[in-house]
Amino acid sequence: MPGAEFQAAKSVFMGAIGVVHNAALATPAFEASPKHGYSRAMRPDRLNPLFVAADSLKGVGTGLARPLERLGLTRVKDFAYHLPDRFVTRRAVADLDQASVGENVVVGLTPVEYRSSAGRGPFRVLAADEAGNVCAITYFGRNTGWARKALPLGEKRWIAGRLDQYGQMLQIVHPDHVSDESGLALGQLVEPVYPLSEGLTQGRLAALVHQALERMPDLPEWIEPGLADKMQWPLWRDALELAHRSEHAAARDRLAYDELLANSLALMLVRRDNRARAGTPLHGDGSLRGKLKLPFGLTGAQSRAVREIEGDLAQPSPMLRLLQGDVGSGKTVVALEAMLLAVEAGTQAALLAPTEILARQHHETLTRMAAGTGATIALLTGRDKGRARESILMGLLDGSIQIVVGTHAIFQDAVAYKNLALVVIDEQHRFGVGQRLMLTQKGRRAPHCLAMTATPIPRTLTLAQYGEMDVSRLDEMPPGRQPIDTRVVAIERLGDVIGAIGRHLESGSQAYWVCPMVREQENEDLAAAEARYAELKARFGDSVVLVHGQLKGEVKDAAMERFASGAARLLVATTVIEVGVDVPNATLMVIEQAERFGLAQLHQLRGRVGRGEGKSTCLLLRGEALSETARERLALMRETQDGFRLAEEDLRLRGGGELLGTRQSGDTPFRVASLEQIQKLLPLAHDDARLLIERDGGLTGERGEAARLLLYLFERDWGVQLLRGG
Ligand code: ADP
Ligand code: MG
């Protein structure tokens, strides 16, 4: 596999599928199967220009690689699909009297004076308009040479930028464009604003997008012609162009629809394939489960889910079931029951977790809970090397290990099982369908698959993500849970909050302190988290530990372990603790800059407390200036603990559409489609996909062929490989 493509695959959420996909291709069992005979080379040639690495674009050197990768921009097609968040619209004005402060304008100004300030102050160019108004054009930073060059004294320039006021003076800070021709500046009255990462500028990115668009081929239409007409959707290539040029709703909808259609199609192909495959019917005799000593009885919902799973496992066709239950609803023990049943039936079970931390914790929990049963449970993560790893691999191969818990390391090609019959995937929204699929290629017969998720997905999204699955819901919490006292506190009261933490720790309880980590500002965010940690450590000493995504695995584990064991009392973390961590003695959580998190994410985070008998508290620290929507969202967090309600409301509140593409970070498997578009278009895509498969199940007709291109385009090619004969 070419290095660039590998890198590309690594950085993108859906791209992750590509990695796994290709790893799985190396598995002999996989290639030997004529039905699944498939190779990457089968990607149709006409799509190749789209998948060429980003550094083939002019101007992409090593310096840009990191910033681009952070945005998931690693192949030419990623740029074409990097859609603007919004557009700036500027007004051309003859003089500044016609403009108001805060407005984006294009205006002709003649520089009259340079003013450098002492020390680190900005460089200002005073410039006059036709009417004699003076405005400062302001630059921060050391190098003023190029500003002097771009704005020579006495020569008129066309300036595009935002008009601000600084004291009594009008100013434009870092103008977007400076040009000596009116045409250039006036040609850019409407300009896209792209999501950026550190080290990139709008201009740079726009130029790369432009190049990428020029390389897009024409592709045949995969959308049902009647539908495309009715919606007045442009052709694929035109839609890409238009979506970068203006707020063209039809173009954006079409692009979103493509993605949704690809997803629906692929899911249906998976489902169809799964129905046709042979599984192993599992009948447990209860011998192990009978020895399970739980400190609690199962809730009604848990028992129901266990029964549903038992029913599926007894079938000859492989189970494909989603266990959906809010944070803390007790999914782990349901998984354990299922895995023990598989062991009773003389087979093996695997539990896949999205992070090392979670894998370790599951391993501990399961080992503890299942201590009396005699089942052998091993842990395998990417960090196991050498002897230790070899011995686990042997155990899996000879069957002496009956249950394995791990990260995606458990389904790499080197890992072979004696008879894997059940795969459980925890926090499954973290994985792509392709990964789930590849995992189920491990056994000679298709293993049963139980996917678990705490994400309270609105119904519309359930269809998108789990369209191919049966669903069990844990709609009942274990008894004795108390509602979490949630409060919104202004950041100015930080001192009080730290005081409260002190009293809380003194009382013998533990606490979390969560700092935001948002992609765009990652360095800044990391620095902020570290500063907060230092501050809290200065106050509370060694009982404070820090965990964030950029720490080495061992360091993270050590910190988590100290916290889980109670040796550490306060865990400062970024959102790495969002999933799964279970420390019942931690009953206080502080979330900084809560307004920057999505509701679903806040809900997941908050779910880390309120897990024991004790009363729990969650303090949402908010910044000073909050938008109306942000205020409403935080109020909602205070009001309800119902994950489904929060998810639906989140969707509604975002529906207001502050941004064009209210894209989410990894909560959905989509990069192009916004939540709004998913709601609006997914049912259509679903029906369209079903019809297409009914009519042309092998995707061999004209539209079928086009649909194959679509699957490759959105990297749902695991859908294509399921088609008989490739
Ligand atoms: P999640 O669904 O979020 O994965 P867990 O499986 O981690 O939830 O369970 C959350 C906590 O609830 C754990 O401490 C677990 O031991 C406990 N728990 C699970 N089921 C029950 C039950 N029926 N009664 C009481 N406590 C339970
Ligand atoms: Mg869990």
Q: Which atom of ligand 1 is nearest to the CA of 327?
A: 3
**Is residue 183 domain-shared with residue 92, that is, in the same domain?**
yes
Assign residue 108 the CATH number of its domain: 2.40.50.140
Q: Tell me which ligand sits closest to the C-alpha of residue 357.
A: 2
**Residue-level pLDDT at 35:** 33
- Distance from the alpha carbon of residue 639 to the mean position of ligand 1, in angstroms: 23
Q: Is the pTM of this model over 0.75?
A: no
Q: How far apart are the first and last CA of the chain?
A: 20
Q: Tell me which ligand sits closest to the C-alpha of residue 330.
A: 1
**Is residue 461 domain-shared with residue 362, that is, in the same domain?**
yes
- Distance from the alpha carbon of residue 345 to the mean position of ligand 1, in angstroms: 26
Q: Which atom of ligand 1 is nearest to the CA of 334?
A: 6
- Please say which residue of 474, 506, 530 terminates a domain: 474
Q: Which atom of ligand 1 is nearest to the CA of 299?
A: 23
Residues of the chain predicted below pLDDT 50 = 1-41, 655-666, 725-726
**Is residue 499 domain-shared with residue 461, that is, in the same domain?**
no
- Distance from the alpha carbon of residue 426 to the mean position of ligand 2, in angstroms: 7
Strand pairing category for 544-547 and 470-474: unpaired
Q: Nearest-5° angle of CA 559, CA 563, CA 564?
A: 115
**Is residue 560 domain-shared with residue 617, that is, in the same domain?**
yes
**Residue-level pLDDT at 442:** 55
- Distance from the alpha carbon of residue 330 to the mean position of ligand 1, in angstroms: 3
Q: Which atom of ligand 1 is nearest to the CA of 302?
A: 23
**Is residue 595 domain-shared with residue 511, that is, in the same domain?**
yes
Range(s) of the domain holding residue 453? 280-474
**Is residue 602 domain-shared with residue 628, that is, in the same domain?**
yes
- Distance from the alpha carbon of residue 298 to the mean position of ligand 2, in angstroms: 16
Q: Tell me which ligand sits closest to the C-alpha of residue 456.
A: 1
Mutate to test the pocket of ligand 1, among 298, 327, 333, 481 (most ligand atoms within 8 A of CB): 333
Q: Is 216 within the bounds of a domain?
A: no
Q: Tell me which ligand sits closest to the C-alpha of residue 337.
A: 1
Protein residue with its CA nearest to atom 9 in ligand 1? 330
H/E element holding 572? Answer: strand 570-573
Specify whether the CB–CB gap between 326 and 607 falls below 8 A: yes
Residue reference for tokens 């996989």:
30
- Distance from the alpha carbon of residue 355 to the mean position of ligand 2, in angstroms: 12
Q: Is 689 within the bounds of a domain?
A: no
**Residue-level pLDDT at 659:** 32
**Is residue 526 domain-shared with residue 603, that is, in the same domain?**
yes
Residue reference for tokens 């009417």:
131
**Residue-level pLDDT at 437:** 58
**Is residue 518 domain-shared with residue 465, that is, in the same domain?**
no
Protein residue with its CA nearest to atom 26 in ligand 1? 478
Q: Is 409 within the bounds of a domain?
A: yes
Q: Is 27 within the bounds of a domain?
A: no
Amino acid at 285: D
Tell me the per-residue pLDDT of 205-238, one tens digit each, with 9 for 90 and over: 999 999 999 999 999 999 999 999 999 999 999 9
Handedness of CA 350, 355, 360, 364 (dihedral sign): negative
Mutate to test the pocket of ligand 1, among 327, 329, 332, 352 (most ligand atoms within 8 A of CB): 332
Q: Tell me which ligand sits closest to the C-alpha of residue 427.
A: 2
- Distance from the alpha carbon of residue 336 to the mean position of ligand 2, in angstroms: 12
Protein residue with its CA nearest to atom 25 in ligand 1? 478
Q: Is 189 within the bounds of a domain?
A: yes
Amino acid at 612: G
Mutate to test the pocket of ligand 1, among 303, 326, 329 (most ligand atoms within 8 A of CB): 329
User: Closest Cα partner for 79 from 53, 116, 102?
Assistant: 53
Protein residue with its CA nearest to atom 18 in ligand 1? 330
**Is residue 500 domain-shared with residue 466, that is, in the same domain?**
no
- Distance from the alpha carbon of residue 183 to the mean position of ligand 1, in angstroms: 66
Mutate to test the pocket of ligand 1, among 326, 582, 605, 608 (most ligand atoms within 8 A of CB): 582
Q: Is 616 within the bounds of a domain?
A: yes
Q: Is 535 within the bounds of a domain?
A: yes
Specify whether the CB–CB gap between 303 and 262 falls below 8 A: no
Assign residue 540 the CATH number of its domain: 3.40.50.300
**Is residue 322 domain-shared with residue 415, that is, in the same domain?**
yes
Q: Which atom of ligand 1 is nearest to the CA of 607?
A: 3
- Distance from the alpha carbon of residue 14 to the mean position of ligand 2, in angstroms: 23
The residues facing 642 across adjacent strands are none
Q: Tell me which ligand sits closest to the C-alpha of residue 303.
A: 1
Q: Which atom of ligand 1 is nearest to the CA of 329?
A: 2
- Distance from the alpha carbon of residue 425 to the mean position of ligand 1, in angstroms: 17
CA dihedral 147, 150, 155, 158 (to 10 degrees): -110
Protein residue with its CA nearest to atom 13 in ligand 1? 330
- Distance from the alpha carbon of residue 582 to the mean position of ligand 1, in angstroms: 9
- Distance from the alpha carbon of residue 104 to the mean position of ligand 2, in angstroms: 49
Q: Tell me which ligand sits closest to the C-alpha of residue 613.
A: 1
Token pair of 190 as six digits: 């409407």
Tell me the per-residue pLDDT of 531-548, one tens digit each, with 9 for 90 and over: 999 999 999 999 999 988
Strand pairing category for 134-139 and 485-490: unpaired
- Please say which residue of 474, 501, 524 terminates a domain: 474
CA distance 313 to 341: 9
Q: Which residues line ligand 1 (CB under 6 A)?
A: 296, 298-299, 302, 325, 327-333, 454, 478, 582, 584, 611
- Please say which residue of 640, 664, 683 terminates a domain: 640
CA distance 610 to 616: 5
CA distance 579 to 239: 37
Q: Is 315 within the bounds of a domain?
A: yes
Number of domains in the chain: 3
**Is residue 459 domain-shared with residue 327, that is, in the same domain?**
yes
CA distance 573 to 551: 11
**Is residue 490 domain-shared with residue 455, that is, in the same domain?**
no
